[in-house]
Structure 1
Amino acid sequence: MIRRSQSFLSQFYALTDFVCVQIVFLFSWWLKFKSGWIPYENSLPIETYALWSLVYGGTAIFLSYFFNFYTPKRKKRFSFELFIIVQVYCISLLILLSILFIFKELNISRSYLLLYLVNNILLISFYRYILKISLKRLRQKGYNKQFLLILGAGTLGKKFYTNLMQHPELGYEVIGFLDDFQKNHEFGFENYKPIIGKVDDLESIINELLIDEVIIALPLHAHKKYGRIINICEKAGVKTLIIPDFYDYLPSKPFFDNFAGIPLINVRDIPLDEFRNRFIKRAFDIIFSLIAIIITSPLLILIAISIKITSPGEIIFKQERVGLNRRHFMMYKFRSMRIQTEETSDKQWTTRDDPRKTKFGSFLRKTSLDELPQFFNVLFGHMSVVGPRPERPFFVEQFKEEIPKYMIKHHIRPGITGWAQSNGFRGDTSIEERIKYDIFYIENWSFLFDIKIIWKTIINGFVNKNAY
């Protein structure tokens, strides 16, 4: 029954999205060609635009299914949905432009397409937000609820119940607990729903009460009961979820993988492990770094000449760093220090009044202009525009012994800027705090998160008190 209703809702969402796209088509066409507010020269017949609107709508619906946009998202925030909406409708437009090019339909107004894209994102986001808020209020009033039964009234079960009660907007109601050892007077049931039976009573209770999901919160030594519990639930069409007794060792978003036909718990879910996300990030890195190199090329030449004039030695300073999957690479920077031995440069930390810096080098480091050549590292695939900052091998060996989870940063490409750096953690600042920010970025990566970090880096300025 639940699956059928979810399938109906998915189809309803898809149909509504398609209708919204066509409404946006009519509105955008009127706004561009009939309102008189936007100047234009010639217009193709409305039938031509209508045809391509149907193609665009179909593409968007297909991509929405591909991105799992129509699966239930009771536990997801609206910001997650907004990110998917922007992705789906931007990619759909790129596909539409490709199709137009193939069919040599070159007279479609590009300004109209931009207007069409923006209006689609705005309307779909607005109606989805209204729908999400409406469903949330209905659940708070007792409608559209999901009923849960918790197996295990120990620490796991109690903690899950307490956390769940802090989020009434999710629309879940706990029927009670099943436990083989505790009784209500020992359990302190005045603070919780009561214990309504033992684990062996599960089948009869499911048949008597309306239960949508069963939460297994049993200790590890009770794992032999899991098979019978799951069989009973599946026979009754009830969803089963398991809280592992070792959840303290898992991240906030554990991920199940499959290796050699065996399901595995991935204790570090990294969005960039997915090919789709890696492709998007890499494509953006290449485009962004090419644009950055082209725009700053006069500045690059000027800095190179200035370095050559003000101090003897090479213009570009190359230093070994540790990058993706602990692989070493040579990172490029404009030389900001006097010529020194490799031993000194690789094992000595830069200080505020470091005597090794040249006068022009101090300016470069303070303004972060010495890092401009790293856009070539991005092009070569050593680095990304956004990511954890790479460190020298000597310090990596030191920090991995001293700082828990330090090596997690090497699961993705290092970056020119990052979440830690955009929040002021540069230079002689806490390595522990940097790693916390880096891990948060790694576990919560999204394309919009990268844009936010780049924007924050630009807004905060490249001059930083900790850059020296």
Structure 2
Amino acid sequence: MRHRYSILFFPLHVFVDFLSLNTAFVGAYWLKFGIIDPVFEPPYATLLWVFNLIWLAEILLFKPYIFPRQLFKADHLIKKMLLLMAVHIALISLYWVAIKGYYYSREHLFITYVLFAGLGAAFRLGALIFLREYRARGYNNRKYVVVGYGKLATTIRGFYDAHPEMGFHFYGYFDQPTAENSDLLQGDYDKLTAYIQANRIDCVYCCMPYIDNSRLKTIVDDAELVDYQVKLLVDFRGFLAKGASVEYHDFLPVLNLSSQMLADFRVNTLKRAFDIAFSFAVLTIGSPFFMLMAIITWITSRGPVLYAQERIGRDGKPFTIYKFRSMYVNAETSGPVLSAGEQDSRITPWGRFMRQTRLDELPQFYNVLKGDMSVVGPRPERQFFIDQIVEVAPEYRTLLKVKPGITSIGQIKFGYAANIEEMVQRLRYDLLYPERRSFLFDMWIIAQTVRVMMQGRGK
């Protein structure tokens, strides 16, 4: 039988977790009360049974000990354990309230979970270290071959060569011989099945760009007879980075290459609700402050209080953005020019202060309320500058898939840009946003923006 010891991992994992749970429960009782015997009598004996039954139910429901070798990593194992513990704590809390078990010591429960987390993490880390060493010595390994030679085939081999702790040993490439690859192949397709049987190969990686469907079907059909796994390698990396998703038409998987991920309904709905509530609150509560800002702007530099300018929003749609005027009137009579920063003579003294504290951006909450902008998002630019940016950094088009914002990572980390080169540098920060955006991430960016405003570090 292949890998006869691997089947023991699951029951061992279950046993150790139950042992850790019960040891933590009893140990916490001893630490709290200094004795052990009462823990095996009601009411704590009943609670101990509930502890074990809930953990058993979680194992049956979530199947937490079934994962591929690629996910057998410390962070993944501990995160999964903590997630199970969180569910366990929630269910125990419901049980406690339902039976009105206020006679149970909360300190005992707290110590139990601390001990359980420590024991569980120690076991997982110990098992991980043991398996890595065990596999490094040549045990508990998997043998694999790659069918279809090309860049993708060498990539998967390079991955396993770089991660010997996973225990995958390479046994050769198989493909139709050509002048370029004949010296690199273990054999052609006709020799594959015999080679798998002779060398007891565990896994066959099939590279879809280099193998046709008829040969793939033969490999899959033979897998049941010869007892090996078949895994398909398809290079979606370039597409997935742009937000591709998989749809299922009955049993047929379809790769959607449009950036629908960026228009995720749940994220956008929550984000828009927050934008409306936050903007309405700022405009309502801050109206006296806005009036004061307008008066100071008018007194320090005669001319319009607000500055309106066309910017490009989501999907390339133009809109009018509003700011408190920070430059002298007619500062751009010669055409679109970026600010030269603190040395720009077009900026008024009061305007310089507003830029340092980001106060000139406050009227844009009206743009947010209208739906042209969001509170958090990449800064919108003029078409004149977008055309120049795209020539240097075509990836800027990615930012046009999300709604622009009042503040962004680029605004926090870099600030205002004085030329195209600096705009591209700021772009590197803003490109992080579409992939990482979430409600909590938006809250972090807003908090950092407030800090910059309070410290007057905007440039």
Q: TM-score range by the shorter chain?
A: 0.5 to 0.7
AA of the residue aligned to 1:181: P
Cα deviation, 1:12-32, whole Å, max 9, x if unaligned, reads 65665565455555556666x
Separation in structure 1 between the aligned mates of residue 123 and residue 105 of structure 2, nearest angstrom: 26
- Deviation (angstroms), 1:214: 0.9
Asked if 1:233 corresponds to 2:229, the answer is: no
Asked if 1:203 corresponds to 2:199, the answer is: no
- Mapped contact 1:28–1:119 kept (Cα < 8 A): no
Separation in structure 2 between the aligned mates of residue 416 and residue 76 of structure 1, nearest angstrom: 42
Separation in structure 2 between the aligned mates of residue 383 and residue 15 of structure 1, nearest angstrom: 54
- Deviation (angstroms), 1:212: 1.7
AA of the residue aligned to 2:398: I
Sort the Cα spacing of 1:102 and 1:206 in 2 relative to 1 into closer, same or farther, 3 A: same
Partner residue of 1:257 out of 242, 246, 251? 246
Asked if 1:143 corresponds to 2:139, the answer is: yes
Sort the Cα spacing of 1:207 and 1:74 in 2 relative to 1 into closer, same or farther, 3 A: same
- Deviation (angstroms), 1:185: 10
Equivalence for 1:39 = none
- Deviation (angstroms), 1:161: 2.6
Asked if 1:427 corresponds to 2:417, the answer is: yes
Partner residue of 2:169 out of 165, 168, 173? 173
- Mapped contact 1:150–1:178 kept (Cα < 8 A): yes
Sort the Cα spacing of 1:73 and 1:371 in 2 relative to 1 into closer, same or farther, 3 A: farther
Cα deviation, 1:136-158, whole Å, max 9, x if unaligned, reads 22222222212111123444434
- Mapped contact 2:306–2:325 kept (Cα < 8 A): no
Partner residue of 1:215 out of 188, 202, 205? 205
Separation in structure 2 between the aligned mates of residue 63 and residue 275 of structure 1, nearest angstrom: 28
- Mapped contact 2:247–2:253 kept (Cα < 8 A): yes
Partner SS, residue 191 of structure 2: helix
Question: Which consecutive residues of structure 2, in runs of 5 or more, have no partner in the other structure?
Answer: 35-41
Equivalence for 1:41 = none
Please say which of residues 445-454 and 404-413 is displaced more in the overlay: 445-454
Equivalence for 2:125 = 129
Separation in structure 2 between the aligned mates of residue 79 and residue 117 of structure 1, nearest angstrom: 22
Please say which of residues 21-30 and 150-159 is displaced more in the overlay: 21-30
- Deviation (angstroms), 1:172: 0.9
Cα deviation, 1:139-197, whole Å, max 9, x if unaligned, reads 2222221211112344443444344322222221011222321589952x6xxxxx332
Sort the Cα spacing of 1:379 and 1:402 in 2 relative to 1 into closer, same or farther, 3 A: same
- Mapped contact 2:28–2:109 kept (Cα < 8 A): no
Count of matched residue pairs: 438
Separation in structure 2 between the aligned mates of residue 94 and residue 371 of structure 1, nearest angstrom: 44
Residue correspondence of structure 1 range 284-299 to structure 2 within 5 A:
none
- Deviation (angstroms), 1:78: 3.6
Separation in structure 1 between the aligned mates of residue 67 and residue 261 of structure 2, nearest angstrom: 18
Asked if 1:310 corresponds to 2:305, the answer is: no
Question: Which consecutive residues of structure 1, in runs of 5 or more, have no partner in the other structure?
Answer: 36-43, 190-194
Equivalence for 1:359 = 349
AA of the residue aligned to 2:326: M
Structure of higher CA gyration radius: 2
Sort the Cα spacing of 1:256 and 1:20 in 2 relative to 1 into closer, same or farther, 3 A: farther
Residue correspondence of structure 1 range 390-429 to structure 2 within 5 A:
390-391=380-381, 399=389, 403-411=393-401, 420=410, 423-424=413-414, 427-428=417-418
- Mapped contact 2:27–2:112 kept (Cα < 8 A): no
- Mapped contact 2:146–2:174 kept (Cα < 8 A): yes
Separation in structure 2 between the aligned mates of residue 122 and residue 419 of structure 1, nearest angstrom: 35
RMSD, matched Cα: 5.8
AA of the residue aligned to 1:241: K
Partner SS, residue 311 of structure 1: helix
Partner SS, residue 70 of structure 2: coil
- Mapped contact 1:90–1:117 kept (Cα < 8 A): no
Residue correspondence of structure 1 range 99-110 to structure 2 within 5 A:
99=94, 103=98
AA of the residue aligned to 2:216: Y
Partner SS, residue 74 of structure 1: helix
Asked if 1:157 corresponds to 2:153, the answer is: yes
Separation in structure 2 between the aligned mates of residue 239 and residue 441 of structure 1, nearest angstrom: 38
Equivalence for 1:119 = 114
Separation in structure 1 between the aligned mates of residue 102 and residue 76 of structure 2, nearest angstrom: 36
Separation in structure 1 between the aligned mates of residue 202 and residue 434 of structure 2, nearest angstrom: 34
Cα deviation, 1:377-424, whole Å, max 9, x if unaligned, reads 999998777654455666556645653232323555666665555654
Q: With structure 1 as the length reference, what TM-score do the two structures score? A: 0.65
Separation in structure 2 between the aligned mates of residue 113 and residue 275 of structure 1, nearest angstrom: 43
Partner SS, residue 140 of structure 2: coil
Partner residue of 2:68 out of 54, 69, 72? 72
Identity of aligned residues (%): 25
Equivalence for 1:192 = none
